[in-house]
Structures are given as C-alpha cells and as structure tokens.
Structure 1
Amino acid sequence: MNWISEWALPKIQTWLGRKEVPDNLWHKCPACEQMIFHRDLERALHVCTHCGHHMRIPAAKRMEYTLDPGFQRIELPKSPADPLRFRDQRKYAERLKEAQAKSGMDDAVMVAHGTIEGRRAVVAAFEFGFMGGSMSPGVGEALVTAAKLAVLQDAPLIVFTASGGARMQEGAVSLMQMPRTVIATQMVKEAGLPVIIVMADPTTGGVTASFAMLGDIHIAEPKALIGFAGARVIEQTVRETLPEGFQRAEYLLEHGILDMVVKRGEMRERLAHLIALLREPVLVLPEAEPRPVLEAPSPVAEAPVVPAPAAAARPEA
C-alpha cells in the first residue's frame, strides 16, 4: 500500500488542486462540548453560542474587546528573571523563555491606555496562558506602572484578573507582590480616581488575597471561579460539604462580595457607563423661584356669626 500513499495520492491531489484543511477551523466548548466554527466564535467574543460559556481569552483579545480602536500598549520595565535560580524537572529560566515565546509578552500582565466609548481609561489585563497568570516581580511592576499612568493621565484604572496566584518558582519574591499591588491600587484611590476590578475565570490565590478585592467596583464574568484556596482544601479544613456553586461568580454576587456579574458582550458598554457615573460631573439645574400661592375665593358665602346669648345670672342666696 506504500505506492498508493506515497505516489498515487499526491498525484491525485496535485491534479485536483486539493488543499489541506487547517486544524483550527472548529473549536470545542469545554462546558457543553459542542463544536463552534471559528468565525462564529470570534463574532461571539469567545462565548459559546450553545450554552453561553465564557471561554478564557488572551490579554491581547481582552484589550481589543474593551478599548476603542487606536489604543496604545505600554512597554513595561524589565524585571530580574529567575532570581532564585529555581529548578524542578526543568530550569525555571527555560519555562520563562517558552512562555514568553508562546504569548509574545515579557510577563503575565499587559497594560494599555486609550478610551472606552470615548472615555479615557488605563487597562491592565492578566494573561492566564503565561504560566497560569501567576504573580511575579514583573506582574507587580506592571500594576505599579499602570497605577502611575492612571494618576498621570487622570483616568480610572481597570484591571482584568485571571490568575492562579503567586508564582512558586520565585518564592517569597512573588509573595511580596501582594502588598506592592495593594499600594498601587491605594495610589490611584488617593488621587481621587476609581479602581474597577473585573474578575475572569479563574481569579484565585494571592491575586484574590490582595488588590483584586480592594477595588471600588467589583465585576465578574458569568460562572467565573473566584476564591483564595481550592474548594477541596476548604472542605478538608472545615470538614463540611460546600454548597453548590461555591466560589462561582453568581454565588459571590448573592452573598455581597461582587457588585455585578456582566456578560462579555455587555462589558464594554457597562464599563463606559460606570466611568461616566464616577467621573463626569452631574449637571445641577438651578432651583426655580417659588411662585406666590393665590387663594381662590370660596364660592359659598360665609354665614353671619351670631353671638351666643349671655348666661343668666343666678339669684344670690
């Protein structure tokens, strides 16, 4: 059969002009496992057209879906790579270079500035594909840079989170980014500017335990996983069965931890509306002078007042 596959089929394909079909034309939804054509998925902003599942998207797509055309990406300062010279099955430096080549980013956060429906904003977006969006000195430096830029441009800071927490290959250096990012958000608030946190799936670990819960407004995408420790670890600790939907966006909204759950297709409009409410001055109309109240004459004539008869004097005893 070798002559058929090696000689006959290539000849037939050449005569018929047959082209190979790309492998990425169809995508399977991880929730309902339905196949979706790539153009339909792109039009739906990577939301399943069958079940509404919000798929994970790269940081570059997040910027494209949020900001108006013409936004500018910020070049972030370089951070020291592999400060602990960590190695497990592979060198951490090798894993870092692989993640950088795959994502086209230096670290797990992208920062850009532009407008959202004409309103200025500075946006930072986590890249979950970059080592699970884990926090590192580069991530901390990116959020500090975004905060400084927001203060400089007098614009609100919007952060899209999607992270597994601290980066274990950098140990305590990674944990120190938690107070650093808290200081960054506080810097924006002290300037009188709003901080809006949008939590995508998943937002866990040190990100949730630091700046992600310190925004002025907390938004989440539908069914996003949000929490600090995993549900299995919590069950083993408290020795109780957790309620259904625990650590999902709708559960947190019901218990007052989130302000709203917004679909991806409505996120851009909702953010623009929030910026307008928080930043644009409210027009207060001057109060009108009170009009004099004219008393209308009564149509019924008043009856004459008849004085009451005087009381009869009692005879003295």
Structure 2
Amino acid sequence: MLCLSSDCKNITFVRPAYFKIAGFIGIPNMHYYYVFLFFVFFVSVLGNITVMGLIYLDHNLRTAKYIAIFNLAFVDLIGNTALVPKVIDIFLFNHYYISYGECLTFYFFCNICLSMQSLNLVALCYDRLIAIMYPLHYQVRVTPKIMFSIVAFIWLLVLSCVLIALGLLTRLSFCDSVVINSFYCDHGPIYRLGCNDTTPNLVYGNLLIALILWVPLIIIMCSYICIGRALARISTAKERIKAFKTCTAHLSLVAIYFVPILIVYNMRANIHPNARIINLSLTTVFPPMLNPIIYVLQTQEIRASLRKILQSKLKLRVASK
C-alpha cells in the first residue's frame, strides 16, 4: 500500500506491493527490438552451452585457463537467461508490474552475473600476464587449484557486494512513485524512488561501480602495459606476434565489455534518455552473446576440440548406417 508524500511523515516504513518497469514504454517500433533480443538470447544460450560442453567433454581443456572460461560462459548463460526472457515478457506482453520480492530477486541474479563478467576478465588477464611475463613459471603460478581459488574468491566478493546492496534497498521506504525508469530492476533507479535517506545507497552504489567497473579496468590496463613491455623484450617479430595472438581473445572480450559501457557513461548527459536505456540494454546483453563466439573463433584449442567432437559424431553416424 502506498501513501501520499505529505502523509509519509508519520510513517516510518512503506513497502510497495509492486513496482512498474517502464524503461522501454513509449519508445516507437520496439517490437523489432524484442525480436532482436530473442535472437541475441538464442545465440547466447547456444554459444555458452557449447563452450561449457566442450570444456567438460574434452579432458585436454581441463586446465586453469579453461576454469575461468567455463565460469565466464556459465555466468553469461545465467545472466542472459535471467534478464532477456523477463525483459521480453515485461514489455512485449505488457506485464509491466512486478511484485516487490520478485523485483529484488530479479535485481539479485542480474547484478550477480553482470558483476561477475568484469571480475572474471581480471582472472583471465592474470592467466595471460603470467603466460607472457613468466612463461617458465606458468605451470606453477597458474594451476587449476590457484585459478579455482581466484574464481571462488570472485564469487564470494560479488555475492557479498550484491547482498549488501540488496540489504540497503530493503531499508528504503517508498511513498510516491513505484515506476522504475529502467529495463530491469536496477539499484540506481530503485533507490532514487525512496522517500527516506538514500545517502547510504548513493555512496555504496558509487563504491560498487568503482569496484566492479573501474578497478578491474585499471588492473587489466596495467597488466597489458606489463605484457607490452614483456613483448618488446622478445627478440624476433615472429615470436612477438605469436605471443600477442594468445591475448587477442581476451582483449576482444575486454573491448566488448568495457568500451560500450564507457561510451554510454561518458555520453549520458548528451543523449536522449530512451537512447541511453537502449544502449545500456545492448551493453548488457551483447557480451554474453559474443564471448563464446570469440573464444570458439580465436582459441585454437577450442576449435580443435569442437572439430574432434564433430568428426567423432560424424564417424559414428557413418558407422551406424
């Protein structure tokens, strides 16, 4: 039950029965965009299941590097599965109203996966950093146990951060609007609706953006500066190119994830709110679709594994005939 803002002075806590997700409402020709989102979702599910299946089936891919790649594929799969079908259901079928508990659950799963993506890129960056700078020590410094520990630490960190943000949202009282101006239940658009003190949410939200976005980006940039110096010390151009090629898949993932987000954040004051919401939705759903494609196309081990599995299945079919 809601109350008018003038009546809220005597009420300490107001929890709404529902929120209204209004991000795409009023934007023309959005039905074409929903078809596009469905295509993105389908490719994302197919690609990430393929990558996870290859790593699981091929024992040659049970290495430290592929633990991080498996985790990235898993996070991408869960993230787009939690986000895209719900967004299509909300806006294509006009189910704009979402219960309070369902909205917070929606927020939890989406933000867990979005946060895991950037931090997982740091884990993959560590793999490339050691491989280029300390190739003789790679088998000792990048073991499955070490990578599993890194991935587990990232999960604990992200779960803790998102749960704290969720706890801060539950302390808010909502006296006026319940309209969330976003395409999903996001932290910023929700806490701005609060009619009590939202300063803790504002401060923590900025800290979370720094931890999830800026800190990983700075770590990755510093790592590649070190990698660049290490490559410069390699004597022949052929060896430098060969070593650099091992980083191209990871660099592509970093560019796909961070560049669109940075552009949207830097241009947010100069673009129409509708365009900003669409751009933010694209930066959210595109990386999980492109990540498996990049790894299949640019990683020799995954291509070889896919080829081997397809050839074995083809031989079985021929033999059965």
TM-score tier, shorter chain, comes to: under 0.3
Larger strand proportion, structure 1 or 2? 1
**TM-score normalised over the length of structure 2:** 0.26
Larger helix proportion, structure 1 or 2? 2
**TM-score normalised over the length of structure 1:** 0.27
Structure with larger RCO (C-alpha < 8 A, sep 6+): 2
Larger-Rg structure: 1
